[in-house]
Amino acid sequence: MTTAETSAVPVNETVPARHRPPRWWRLLGRDRAAAAGAVVLTLVALVALFGRLFIGDRAQRQDLDASLRPPSLSDGVYGLLGTDVLGRSVLARLIDAAGTTLSVAVPAVLCSLVIGSALGLWAGYHGGRRESLAMRVADVILSFPSLLIAVVVLYVFSPSALNIVLILAVARIPVYLRTSRAEAAELRSRLFVDAARTFGTPSRHIIYRHILPIALPTLLTVATLDFCFVMLTESSLSFLGIGIQPPDVSWGLMVAQGRQYLQTAWWITVLPGLAIVLTTVSATLLAAWARIATDPAQRWRLTLPRKRRGASAAVPPEMIP
């Protein structure tokens, strides 16, 4: 923020306050990578939401005679990406798996984001004993072997998607807890918080109105990175046999089950792997963009014309090593 005042970040000098900040889609249009990410994510979300309506039971329909067919154009739409060992269409399974994958990853991330941030902001704002308590809770969760919980819950109780969500959510709470605590602890001594306090504003209002908005971009960035983490962990659980259980299918499960066919039938494991990579990279790109776009002091970065951004002229000559 101080950057703007002292070293004359151009936006503040050149765009007076009455000038409305540029529309977000214009900013998105400027960042081709983020725009591509947004398109991919939208696509994935649409497929996850509505894909099952179109494929019917194709994801489950087996044909042992059509086992391990390579991708081809001659077997109709469902043969486009080949078949798996049970002769099920890989395309249909990818579509079906998109729904499962997102229905695990998104709630897991949201749960840990909400719970972890709430606890962390509360702890960081109040400080003292409450802060210590929250941090120790985080310590316990972090040092608890989450695999043990996973095995207990998934083998002893029931291996449902809901349980996987719960496990992943609990395991990731400390990350948000610590991040938001740090932010809140730093902000609680700031002038505007003090001011609010002197007016007798209740603490949850201060946290909600004053601290949360400032901490949110960071938390959202962490959440995006976590989205990736959750998908990969779910995949690793499948590798160990305790992830999503057949006949449900997730991308992680497909990668895990297909890995033994890596040499003979690459499409079974490479395609879902690619789906994971594409989705998470898109989410990360979009998060990076959103972080900049929501930060007035950084927004100008997005406004650089494309051709100059990569060119050396965009960088002060002094800074070229």
Partner 1 sequence: MTTTSAPAPSDTAPALDVEGLCVDLSTPSGTVRAVNGVSFSVRRGRTLALLGESGCGKSMTALSVVGLLDPAASVTGGAVRVRGKDTLRLSPAERRKLAGPVLSIVFQDALTALNPVQPVGRQIGEPFRIHRGLSRRQAEEKAIELMTRVGIPEPRQRAKSYPHQFSGGMRQRLLIAMAVALDPDVLIADEPTTALDVTVQAQIMRLLRDLQDERHMAVVLITHDLAVVAQRADDVVVMYAGTVVEQGAVHDVFTSPRHPYTRGLLDSVPEDAERGRPLPAVPGSPPELSAVPPGCVFQARCPLVRERCVRERPSLRSTGDGRSAACHFSEELDRA
Partner 2 sequence: MVTFLRKRMLSSAIPLVCVVLGVFFLARMTGNPVDLYLPLSATAEQRAEFAAAQGFDLSIPAQLWNYLVDAAHLDFGTSLRTGQSATEMVLDAFPVTLQLAGVTMLLAITGAVLIGSLAAYRPNSLVDRIASLLSMTAASIPDFWFAVMGVLVFGVSLGWLPTSGTLGGPEVWVLPIATLLIRPFGVLVQVVRGSMVSALSAPYVKIARSKGATPRRVIFGHALRNAVTPVLTVAGDLTVGLVNGAVIVETIFGWPGIGKLMIDSILQRDFAVLQAAVLLTAVTIFALNILVDVCHALTDPRVRQAVPA
Partner 3 sequence: MKFSVSPIPPAGRRRSRATTAMLLAGTVLLSSGCAVAGSAAGDAGRADGRTLRVVLTQEPPTLEPCEASLTGTGVVVRSNITEPLVERDPDSGELHPLLATGWKQTDERTWTFDTRTGVTFQNGEPFTAEDAAFSIDRAVNSDLACNVEGYVFGDADLEVKAVSDTRLTVTTEQPDPILPLRLSFVEIVPRTTDAEAKVRIPIGTGPYAVSSWQPGAAISLNRYDGYWGEAPAFPRARYVWRSDASVRAAMIDKGEAEIAVALDPIEAHKDTTASYPNNETTALRLDGREPPLDDLRVRRAVDLAVDREGIIDALLGGLAEPAGQLVPPGVVGHNDEIRPTRQNVARAKALIEEAKADGVPVDRQITLVARNGMFSGVSETAEALQYQMQQIGLNVRVRMADTATQLQYQLRPLPKGVGPIALLIMHGNQAGDAAFTTSQYLMSDGPQSTFGTEELDRRIAEADALSGDERQKAFAELLADQNKTVVQYTHLAHMSGLLGLSPSIRYEPDSATGDEMRLAEVSPAKAAQH
Q: Is 296 helix (H, G, I), strand (E, B) or coil?
A: coil
Stretch that binds partner 2, among 42-50, 67-75, 77-85, 223-231 (CB under 8 A): 223-231
Verify binding: residue 191, partner 1, rule CB under 8 A.
no
Q: How far apart are CA 120 and CA 113, in angstroms?
A: 10
- Of partner 3, partner 1, partner 2, none, which one sits near residue 245, judging by CB under 5 to 8 A according to partner kind? partner 3
Residue with tokens 């997005």: 302
Q: What are residue 89's DSSP bridge partners? A: 83
171 CB contacts (<8 Å, ≥6 apart)? 112, 141, 146, 149, 233
Q: How far apart are CA 121 and CA 25, in angstroms?
A: 31
Site string for partner 3, 24-63 (x = CB under 8 A): ------------------------------------x-x-
- For residue 217, is the peptide bond before it cis, meaning its omega torsion is within 30 degrees of 0? no
Verify binding: residue 235, partner 3, rule CB under 8 A.
no
Q: How far apart are CA 166 and CA 107, in angstroms?
A: 9
Site string for partner 3, 189-228 (x = CB under 8 A): ----------------------------------------
Q: Which two tokens stand for residue 295?
A: 């930060």
Verify binding: residue 86, partner 3, rule CB under 8 A.
yes
> Residue from 90, 94, 149, 212 that binds partner 2 (CB under 8 A)?
149
Show contacts with partner 1 in window 292-321 (CB under 8 A). 299-301, 303-305, 308, 313-321
Residue 61: HSE in the Cβ half-sphere, 13 Å Cα cutoff: 10
Stretch that binds partner 2, among 59-67, 71-79, 174-182, 196-204 (CB under 8 A): 174-182
Show contacts with partner 2 in window 287-316 (CB under 8 A). 288, 301, 304, 309-310, 314-315
Residue with tokens 């990406």: 81
Continuous H helices in the chain = 2-6, 10-14, 24-30, 32-55, 90-126, 128-143, 146-151, 161-187, 191-198, 203-206, 212-239, 251-258, 266-293, 306-309
> Residue from 24, 26, 205, 213 that binds partner 1 (CB under 8 A)?
26
Q: How far apart are CA 211 and CA 184, in angstroms?
A: 6
Verify binding: residue 180, partner 2, rule CB under 8 A.
no
In one-letter notation, the amino acid at residue 296 is P
- Of partner 3, partner 2, partner 1, none, which one sits near residue 33, judging by CB under 5 to 8 A according to partner kind? partner 2
Q: Is 242 helix (H, G, I), strand (E, B) or coil?
A: coil
Residues 43, 279 contacting (CB under 8 angstroms): no
Verify binding: residue 83, partner 2, rule CB under 8 A.
no
Q: Which spans of this chain sit near partner 3 (rule: CB under 8 A)?
A: 60, 62, 64-65, 67-68, 85-87, 151, 155-156, 158-159, 241-242, 245-247, 257, 259-264
Q: Which spans of this chain sit near partner 1 (rule: CB under 8 A)?
A: 2-3, 5-16, 19, 21-22, 26-27, 299-301, 303-305, 308, 313-321
Q: Which spans of this chain sit near partner 2 (rule: CB under 8 A)?
A: 2-3, 6-7, 33, 127-129, 131-132, 136-137, 139-140, 142-149, 151-152, 155-156, 174-175, 178-179, 182, 221, 225, 228, 231-232, 235-236, 239-240, 252, 255-256, 259, 262-263, 269, 273, 276-277, 279-281, 284-285, 288, 301, 304, 309-310, 314-315, 318-321
